[in-house]
Structure 1
Amino acid sequence: MKTFSIISVGLCIVGFALLLSNYLNPKFNELVVMVGFIAMLVGTIFSFLAFAKNEAGFLKFIAAGAFFVVTFLVCALEPFQVIRMMAWLKN
């Protein structure tokens, strides 16, 4: 059964869509970014659970890779967004 793989890909898509919608919107919305990042993080956790359960298929690799690629792109393209998010979390 590929339940963890399907859930992980679904959550990564939701997280990516939220981060993309915030990137395309000129006004920064901290809550959207936070929910998007948490959705991608939970998707990655489900992907690692799929690794642990030895699920068949390629979906588990997509979710784990997407988290690291999107996080790298956010840090590379919008470094001040990361600083803004850290300051928001601190307060």
Structure 2
Amino acid sequence: MKTFSIVSVGLCIVGFALLLSNYLSTKFNEPIVMIGFIAMLAGTIFSFVAFAKNELGFLKFIAAGTFFVVTFLVCALDPFQVIRMMVWLKN
């Protein structure tokens, strides 16, 4: 059963799509970015659950790698977005 792997990839795709839609728009939308990061984080957690359950397949590696790659790209391409999110969370 690859249910955790499929759910993790699905959540990572949803999170990536939300972050990409915010990046392509001209206005910064905090709730969309927050939901995107939470979806990607939940996808990574499901990926680690798939690792723990020794599920077959390669999907679990894709979901775990996607979270770290997208987080790195957000920090490298638009570092002020990370600072903006931290300030938004603080308030």
* TM-score category (smaller protein): over 0.9
Q: Which aligned runs of 4 or more in structure 1 are off by greater than 2 angstroms?
A: none
Is 1:30 matched with 2:36?
no
Aligned residue for 1:84?
Answer: 84
Share of identical aligned residues, percent? 87
Unaligned runs of 5+ in 1: none
Deviations 1:21-74 (A, max 9, x none): 000000000000000000000000000000000000000000000000000000
The root-mean-square deviation of aligned C-alpha atoms, in Å, is 0.2
Aligned residues: 91
TM-score normalised to structure 2 length:
1.00
Distance 1:31 1:25 in 2: 14
TM-score normalised to structure 1 length:
1.00
Aligned residue for 2:17?
Answer: 17
